[in-house]
């Protein structure tokens, strides 16, 4: 048995179940005979583990593995690649050959626990359709693209899990792009792995192939070429292909044009940062899932302060839950403000009105003096309204303060801008895209 599972078992007997659930179970371990690297899903978990548990983990690992060299990092193990060829020197592979079609998907991520909102509605519908009718031309390949931590992998798993729920015999293979790459490289160079025939065999007879984060194929010419062939074979065989990418593939430098063109054959859907209501719903849903009581006001507080990334929202919720458990207090607004003070302040400090003005001016290629000036031509008025609405959304400033910062405008002008932008978001796709991109830029 590996040292980490034994260490975890021991920690379970030493710490309260809630702490183990929140801080220790999410860690993933990768060990060789000299060293263990522990991966924390986010910085909150890493910091908490470092301050509260790492010393004990070192002791236990040194006891069970004979070495106490433990590194703690934010990150994750490569997700299980199917049919990784036989073990090589160094760190052990995460899955054994042959392909395990049951264990390859993370079955925690489903449509049931995915909160739908305007930002992800189309993506959800598309993933649902792909699950219902795998291989159908209307959504093959299905490509979900958008910024980090917005639920692309969640939806991809949800589709795979739903396919298997509809048809338990369905063979759904999930791979991260780097798993594909390393399996391919090994097939080329490692004779003991069965070579290319074995590599190709793993895709035969599957119903769906899910590949995460294909932006990492950029610049890897041979891998892309192989992926191109795999893609064509699956596509011709009417096998479903689902891919994710951190931006629209045409914008990824270093991806071959012929691959980009293939990717646009089916359906490409953007996953945008969730709006305020969706963020609040996600917090409440994650809290329910983990059995933590979180009042609506606290969910609203987190949703108001944390804009772009669901993973960070989850991290904040985990921190609250653990601290509440640790101190025996219930989660109130006051408690949340106190516990997350530094984090909330950091989020807030990063976004100021001048920062918003500069970002919007750069985005639209305008001069600051024009953005703040009096001219009312449409090419200036719309970006100006956008900047005012963003200031209202992302800062704590009042309408009069925002008006002042925009060349001494009246608060009713700011109010009008906010309403106008909100209405246009419903009808104007380009404006909605600009809004989402600006929110993402400002929240990075
Ligand atoms: N709409 C949603 N409802 C519920 N959970 C969500 C939603 N969106 C994101 N999440 C959660 O946020 C976390 C991050 O999501 P996920 O890993 O799918 O992001 P991603 O878009 O694939 O990011 P990356 O590109 O960094 O891999 C997951 O825990 C996921 O469950």
Q: Which two tokens stand for residue 201?
A: 């065999």
Please tell me the predicted confidence (pLDDT) of residue 101: 53
With a 6 Å cutoff on the Cβ, whether 148 touches ligand 1 is: yes
Query: What are residue 37's DSSP bridge partners?
Result: 30, 71
CA distance 414 to 406: 9
Looking at the CA of residue 144, tell me the nearest atom of ligand 1.
21
Distance 114 CA to ligand 1 centre (A): 9
pLDDT digits (tens, 9 = 90+) for 289-315: 989 999 999 999 999 888 778 988 999
pLDDT digits (tens, 9 = 90+) for 242-273: 999 998 888 888 999 999 988 888 899 999 88
Max mean pLDDT range (160-164, 168-172, 250-254, 424-428): 160-164
Please tell me the predicted confidence (pLDDT) of residue 273: 86
* Residue listed under structure tokens 């892309």: 224
CA dihedral 301→306→309→315, nearest 10 degrees, is -60
With a 6 Å cutoff on the Cβ, whether 99 touches ligand 1 is: no
Whether the per-residue pLDDT at 2 is higher than 70: the answer is: yes
pLDDT digits (tens, 9 = 90+) for 369-394: 999 998 889 899 999 999 999 999 88
Please tell me the predicted confidence (pLDDT) of residue 433: 84
Confidence class for position 94, pLDDT limits 50, 70, 90: very low
ipTM over cut 0.85 = yes
Looking at the CA of residue 117, tell me the nearest atom of ligand 1.
1
Please tell me the predicted confidence (pLDDT) of residue 161: 95
With a 6 Å cutoff on the Cβ, whether 131 touches ligand 1 is: no
pTM, entire model: 0.69
Mean pLDDT of 97-102: 49
Whether the per-residue pLDDT at 91 is higher than 50: the answer is: no
Q: Confirm if 361 and 368 have CB atoms less than 8 A apart.
A: yes
Q: Which two tokens stand for residue 347?
A: 């989020």
More confident residue, 351 or 113: 113
Q: In order of start, what are the domains of the chain with their CATH numbers?
A: 3-74 (3.30.300.180), 121-270 (3.40.50.300), 276-349 (1.10.8.60), 353-443 (1.10.1750.10)
Looking at the CA of residue 285, tell me the nearest atom of ligand 1.
4
Whether the per-residue pLDDT at 130 is higher than 90: the answer is: yes
With a 6 Å cutoff on the Cβ, whether 126 touches ligand 1 is: no
Rounded mean pLDDT of the chain? 86
Q: Confirm if 177 and 217 have CB atoms less than 8 A apart.
A: yes
pLDDT digits (tens, 9 = 90+) for 18-75: 677 777 887 888 888 788 899 887 766 788 888 889 988 888 888 888 777 899 987 7
Distance 364 CA to ligand 1 centre (A): 30
pLDDT digits (tens, 9 = 90+) for 181-239: 988 888 888 777 778 888 888 888 899 999 999 999 999 999 999 999 999 999 999 99
Give percent above pLDDT 90 in the chain. Answer: 48
Please tell me the predicted confidence (pLDDT) of residue 185: 87
**261: Cβ–Cβ under 8 A, 6 or more apart, which residues?**
none
* Residue listed under structure tokens 């009718």: 133
């Amino acid at each position: 048995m590996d040292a980490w599972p034994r260490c975890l078992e021991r920690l379970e007997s030493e710490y309260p179940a809630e702490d183990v659930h929140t801080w220790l179970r999410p860690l993933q371990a990768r060990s060789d005979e000299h060293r263990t690297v522990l991966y924390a899903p986010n910085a909150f978990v890493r910091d908490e583990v470092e301050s509260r548990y790492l010393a004990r983990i070192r002791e236990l690992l040194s006891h069970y593995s004979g070495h106490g060299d433990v590194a703690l990092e934010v990150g994750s193990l490569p997700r299980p690649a199917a049919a990784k060829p036989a073990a090589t020197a160094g760190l052990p592979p995460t899955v054994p050959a042959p392909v395990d079609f049951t264990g390859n998907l993370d079955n925690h991520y489903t449509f049931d626990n995915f909160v739908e909102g305007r930002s992800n509605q189309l993506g959800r519908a598309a993933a649902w359709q792909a699950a219902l009718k795998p291989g159908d031309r209307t959504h093959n390949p299905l490509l979900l693209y958008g910024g980090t931590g917005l639920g692309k992998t969640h939806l991809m798993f949800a589709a795979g899990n739903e396919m298997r729920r509809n048809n338990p015999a369905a063979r759904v293979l999930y791979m991260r792009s780097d798993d594909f790459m390393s399996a391919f490289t090994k097939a080329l160079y490692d004779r003991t792995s069965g070579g290319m025939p074995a590599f190709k065999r793993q895709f035969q007879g599957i119903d769906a192939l899910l590949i995460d984060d294909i932006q990492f194929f950029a610049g890897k010419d041979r891998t892309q070429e192989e992926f191109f062939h795999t893609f064509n074979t699956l596509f011709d065989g009417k096998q479903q292909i689902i891919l994710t990418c951190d931006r629209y593939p045409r914008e990824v430098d270093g991806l071959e044009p012929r691959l980009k063109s293939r990717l646009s054959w089916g359906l490409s859907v953007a996953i945008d940062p969730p709006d305020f209501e969706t963020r609040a719903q996600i917090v409440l849903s994650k809290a329910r899932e983990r059995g933590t009581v979180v009042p609506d006001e606290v969910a609203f507080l987190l949703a108001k302060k944390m804009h772009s990334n669901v993973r960070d929202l989850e991290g904040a919720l985990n921190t609250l839950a653990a601290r509440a458990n640790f101190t025996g207090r219930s989660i109130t607004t006051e408690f949340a403000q106190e516990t997350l003070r530094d984090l909330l302040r950091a989020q807030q400090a990063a976004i100021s009105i001048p920062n918003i003005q500069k970002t919007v001016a750069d985005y639209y290629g305008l001069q600051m003096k024009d953005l703040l000036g009096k001219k009312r031509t449409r090419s200036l008025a719309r970006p100006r309204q956008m900047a005012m609405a963003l200031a209202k959304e992302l800062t704590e400033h009042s309408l009069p303060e925002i008006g002042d910062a925009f060349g001494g405008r009246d608060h009713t002008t700011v109010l009008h801008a906010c309403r106008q932008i909100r209405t246009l978001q419903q009808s104007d796709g380009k404006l909605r895209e600009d809004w989402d991109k600006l929110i993402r830029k400002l929240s990075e």
